[in-house]
Amino acid sequence: MNIYWQEHTGPHNIGHFLDDMCIPFYGALKKHNLYGKDFQLIIKKNPEAGKCILPEMWKFLCKRPIKYVKTHHKVPDTYRKMHIDGLGTVVLPRARYKDFSNDTLDFFNIKRKKPERIILIQRSTRRNFSNEEELIEGLKSLGREVYPVEFGSMPFKQQLQELQDCAMLIGYHGAGLMNTVFTPAKSSTLEILPYGWVYGRYKQIGLARGQNYIQWLNNDPTKTKSNRPTKFDTSISPLQNKNVIQKRHLKKGTKDWKRASEVKIFFQAADTFVDVDAIVKITKKALKV
């Protein structure tokens, strides 16, 4: 049996790779009783996607190596659908985060632990904590081990194992928060959002798994640090920036729409100073210490 699909066309990071490809694909296999069965997956390659992020995940989902093709008449025109021989073209179902997490951990023989640590996700490029050392020291005052880590440089299986000891996952908005899929069900996640930024994907994942998911938004533009050049006034009020950033409410191509795009890109990529006392207070409440 062959399954035909196309690679995701968006940014190729762990967030999109898992949430837009692996997890929906897993859900389709479950829905059509194909999980664990022998089939050949044929994927139309996206030339902009680059190298596969986590080849280990395909070993979990497929028994055979994937065949990549430039084109095929059976491949649907969207990654949200796939063609299964004998069934035709099917729409990928809603995510099954809890089942996906458990089956992934079982496949890689990951031992579950009693979660104790605070894990702080570090980033190698944009959106970093400008006062990270101060934040780490503040979190240590809670009497828990604080583990700063950049998961991108860690083997996937080790990454899964490290997450099993996570009582509280803290990270600046970005693909690293996709790791909330693999943290213990009773753990908490704190997502730090850039000034004027609204995003709900990772929160939906955490809540779907029954976790305590918290978001902290930087409401002070003066706490933002960015090397990106800008022509707009970064000191305008949060309400004004919020209205500008939500460019979906504006007519495309207009002066306001272009300015909204500039504001959005500036703040999305910016580093930020966090309110350490506020973060420690949130973490203390979540950990019940």
Q: Range with the lowest mean pLDDT among 42-56, 126-140, 161-175?
A: 42-56
Average pLDDT over residues 248-265: 62
First to last CA, the chain: 53
Do residues 42 and 168 share a domain?
A: no
User: Are the beta carbons of 7 and 46 closer than 8 angstroms?
Assistant: yes
200: domain CATH number is 3.40.50.360
Which distant-in-sequence residues (6+ apart) come within 8 Å of 103 by Cβ?
26, 35, 60
Do residues 177 and 279 share a domain?
A: yes
Q: Which pairing describes strands 117-121 and 146-149: parallel, antiparallel, or unpaired?
A: parallel
What count of other Cβ atoms lies within 10 Å of the Cβ of residue 116? Answer: 12
Q: Is residue 88 part of a domain?
A: yes
**Given 3-state DSSP classes, what are the helix, strand and coil percentages for the chain, each rounded to the nearest 5?**
40, 20, 45
Domain boundary among 95, 120, 144: 95
Do residues 193 and 83 share a domain?
A: no
Q: Is residue 148 part of a domain?
A: yes
Task: Give the start-end residues of each E strand in 117-211.
Answer: 117-121, 146-149, 166-172, 188-193
Question: What does the alpha-carbon distance between residue 205 and residue 202 come to, in Å, rounded to a whole number?
Answer: 5
Mean pLDDT of the chain: 84
Total tally of structural domains belonging to the chain: 3
Do residues 39 and 147 share a domain?
A: no
Q: Is residue 101 part of a domain?
A: no
Question: Given a cut of 80, is residue 193 above it in pLDDT?
Answer: yes
Exposure string of 167-197, with b = 16+ CB inside 10 Å and e = fewer, is bbbbbbbbbbbbbbbbbbeebbbbbbbbbbb
Question: Given a cut of 70, is residue 33 above it in pLDDT?
Answer: yes
Task: Give the start-end residues of each E strand in 53-144.
Answer: 67-69, 81-84, 88-91, 117-121
Do residues 181 and 255 share a domain?
A: no
Q: Is residue 165 part of a domain?
A: yes
Domain boundary among 95, 117, 151: 95
**The two structure tokens encoding residue 287:** 């950990």
Helical H segments across 32-108, by residue range: 55-61, 97-107
Which range marks the domain in which residue 75 is found? 2-95
Do residues 180 and 141 share a domain?
A: yes
Question: What does the alpha-carbon distance between residue 127 and residue 71 come to, in Å, rounded to a whole number?
Answer: 37
Do residues 19 and 134 share a domain?
A: no
Comparing 196 with 80, which gets the higher pLDDT?
80
Domain boundary among 62, 95, 128: 95
Highest mean pLDDT among 79-88, 147-156, 211-220, 224-233: 79-88
Q: Is residue 204 part of a domain?
A: yes
Q: Is residue 222 part of a domain?
A: no
Question: What does the alpha-carbon distance between residue 37 and residue 29 come to, in Å, rounded to a whole number?
Answer: 9
**What confidence tier does 265 reach under pLDDT thresholds 50, 70, 90?**
low
Q: What DSSP character marks residue 217?
A: E
CA atoms within 13 A on the CB side of 76: 17
Do residues 213 and 250 share a domain?
A: no
| Max CA pair span of the chain | 60
Do residues 118 and 14 share a domain?
A: no
Q: Range with the lowest mean pLDDT among 82-86, 110-114, 162-166, 222-226?
A: 222-226
Do residues 51 and 35 share a domain?
A: yes
Do residues 82 and 125 share a domain?
A: no
Do residues 164 and 282 share a domain?
A: yes
Q: Is residue 112 part of a domain?
A: yes
